[in-house]
């Protein structure tokens, strides 16, 4: 069996983990909102029309923040359409996804939903067709207590108390040719800086996310970041990153190595941010908001066949399998290793649309394979992220060289006296015996070793059958200060230790 060694030092802290790295995203598209979180005719809907089964599944994930309302739809969205009496709200053509938007859910209802699942809202403002005025009005509507036009309008809509939304995205993917009102970096940078300035004048306590490239594959990456941050560095607190993955060539070993590319992307964005910091002689360090990430490719072909101008059609309904869950685990480990710079991240999305949770209209709901690594990281990955020194055997794939068999992150929760090891074996044929030196954690014992694995990498879950789910029969032995853990080929492992004496 291959061997890997991991050195742990409780003094080598990367950073306190910002719980918002376990955020998610709900866009007005497909069945994310209508038929996903909201289905007033469903027998399990609450008094506001939200599905109680979905509230329960989301709550189990302990999602700290949810980005809303888009996404591509944001670039032509008028937030005023989604507030006030429901029967007066317009039905509109939504141009990004070519559907009918009924506006039956809007800012206030979504804030209520977020409260029900214990999340904060990460609100996004339209910088495609709109700009400073609509954005500052929305901040006033959401966050000002009262005594002004927009805050009093909120009160007449039944929301006496402000929503106090802290985090705001300045547009979405504004470099993309698919956006209504696509901008050059100069155009976006100026608009975002001036919009952010006005928004912070309304509420100085808010935090702003400057829009980064739509992905590392964009021809303008990373020049977009360099030019836009030159304008927004003073007003923004974060820059956004988006990345989606897919096993398009059906080369699973190569696919599971693609977090190497993610590492490179993160390093590049940090470098650009730090260049701007130096250029501006700034004391501020720009943080990263990885506010869209996931696997997205299974549904691409199916989506081409959809008729336009439907309400809530099944768009982007990827069905995830075992290997997708492994990749999602690898992405979360990567974020934990960058906990000093990545302060927010959003699994895109949460329900039905490229999501861990799937619903049937009028029926039940179920967990996709990716639900599990996401839940494990969110629930057990709170504390500080520790620097680990790993020696792991390596392999090469079509696109990557020197890929470590194992990928590891370690979280220490000093208050709860818990250590959680997240370990991925991304090799498809060989098991690895991992040895962790635990000398800094005397008195700690293994509580459980959760494993997600399946003989068939293409195994997926459905409403009828949950083929991929974790078991807690992982193999380990702990002698003195050495913890040995067997991480099976193609498996996601969570080893939870707790101090017993």
In contact, 227 and 205? CB cutoff 8 Å: no
Rounded alpha-carbon distances, angstroms, from residue 425 to 313, 370, 419, 437, 486: 37, 16, 19, 19, 10
| Minimum gap (Å) between residue 155 Cβ and ligand AHR | 32
User: Where along the sequence are the contacts to ligand AHR (CB under 6 A)?
Assistant: 27, 70-72, 172-173, 292, 348-349
Residue 37 corresponds to which tokens in the numbers above? 């979180």
Q: Radius of gyration over alpha carbons of the chain, in Å?
A: 23
Residue 496 corresponds to which tokens in the numbers above? 């939870």
Residue 124 or residue 388: which is nearer to ligand AHR going by CB? 124
Does 212 sit behind a cis peptide bond, omega within 30 degrees of 0 on the bond before it?
no
| Minimum gap (Å) between residue 400 Cβ and ligand AHR | 24
Instruction: Please report the beta strands in 349-499, taking only residues with DSSP state E, as ranges in sequence order.
Output: 357-359, 365-367, 384-391, 394-395, 403-404, 406-413, 418-425, 432-437, 444-452, 475-479, 482-487, 491-499
Catalytic residue among 39, 292, 418, 453: 292
| Minimum gap (Å) between residue 58 Cβ and ligand AHR | 17
In contact, 126 and 171? CB cutoff 8 Å: yes
In contact, 38 and 109? CB cutoff 8 Å: yes
Residue 33 or residue 434: which is nearer to ligand AHR going by CB? 33
| Minimum gap (Å) between residue 77 Cβ and ligand AHR | 11
Residue whose Cβ sits closest to ligand AHR:
71
Catalytic residue among 27, 80, 109, 173: 173
Residue 37 or residue 348: which is nearer to ligand AHR going by CB? 348
Residue 225 or residue 418: which is nearer to ligand AHR going by CB? 225
Backbone angle region of 264, left / alpha / beta, with phi > 0 → left and psi within -120 to 50 → alpha? alpha
Residue 216 or residue 349: which is nearer to ligand AHR going by CB? 349
Q: Is 292 a catalytic residue?
A: yes
- Write down the H helix ranges in 257-342: 259-279, 300-304, 322-337
Residues annotated catalytic, as ranges? 173, 292
């Amino acid at each position: 069996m291959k061997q890997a060694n991991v050195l742990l030092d409780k003094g080598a802290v990367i950073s306190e983990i910002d719980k918002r790295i376990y955020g998610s995203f709900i866009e007005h598209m497909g069945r994310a909102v209508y038929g996903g979180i909201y289905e007033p005719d469903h027998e399990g809907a609450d008094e506001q029309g939200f599905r109680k089964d979905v509230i329960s599944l989301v709550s189990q994930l302990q999602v700290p923040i949810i980005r809303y309302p888009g996404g591509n739809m944001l670039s032509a969205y008028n937030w005023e359409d989604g507030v006030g009496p429901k029967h007066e709200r317009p039905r509109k053509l939504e141009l990004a996804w070519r559907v009918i938007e009924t506006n039956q859910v809007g800012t206030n209802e979504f804030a209520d939903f977020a409260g029900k699942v214990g999340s904060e809202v990460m609100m996004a403002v339209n910088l495609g067709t709109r700009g400073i005025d609509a954005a500052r009005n929305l901040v006033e509507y959401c966050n000002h207590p009262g005594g002004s036009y927009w805050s009093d309008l909120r009160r007449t809509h039944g929301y006496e108390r402000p929503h106090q939304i802290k985090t705001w995205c300045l547009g979405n993917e504004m470099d993309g040719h698919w956006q209504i009102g696509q901008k050059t970096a100069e155009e976006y940078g100026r608009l975002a800086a001036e919009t952010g300035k006005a928004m912070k004048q309304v509420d100085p306590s808010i935090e702003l996310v400057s829009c980064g490239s739509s992905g590392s594959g964009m021809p303008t990456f990373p020049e977009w970041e360099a030019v836009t941050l030159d304008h927004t560095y003073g007003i923004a607190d974060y820059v956004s990153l988006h990345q989606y993955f897919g096993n398009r060539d059906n080369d699973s070993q190569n696919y599971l190595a693609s977090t190497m590319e993610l590492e490179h992307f993160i390093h590049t964005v940090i470098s650009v941010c730090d260049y701007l910091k130096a250029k501006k002689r700034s004391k501020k360090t720009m943080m990263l908001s990885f506010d869209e990430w996931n696997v997205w490719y299974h549904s691409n072909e199916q989506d081409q066949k959809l008729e336009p101008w439907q309400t809530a059609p099944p768009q982007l309904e990827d069905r995830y399998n075992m290997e997708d869950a492994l990749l999602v685990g690898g992405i979360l480990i990567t974020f934990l290793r960058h906990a000093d710079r990545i302060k927010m991240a959003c699994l895109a999305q949460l329900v039905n649309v490229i999501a861990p949770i799937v619903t049937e209209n009028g029926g039940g709901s179920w967990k996709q394979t990716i639900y599990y690594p996401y839940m494990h990281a969110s629930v057990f990955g709170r504390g500080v992220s520790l620097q680990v020194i790993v020696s792991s055997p390596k392999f090469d794939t079509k696109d990557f060289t020197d890929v470590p068999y194992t990928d590891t992150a370690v979280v220490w929760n000093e208050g709860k006296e818990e250590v959680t090891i997240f370990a991925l074996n991304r090799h498809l044929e060989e098991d690895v015996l991992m040895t962790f030196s635990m000398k800094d954690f005397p008195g700690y014992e293994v509580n459980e070793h959760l494993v997600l694995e399946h003989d068939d990498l293409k195994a997926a879950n459905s409403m009828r059958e949950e083929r991929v789910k974790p078991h807690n029969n992982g193999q380990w032995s702990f002698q003195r200060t050495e913890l040995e853990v067997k991480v099976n080929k193609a498996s996601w492992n969570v080893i939870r230790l707790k101090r017993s004496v």
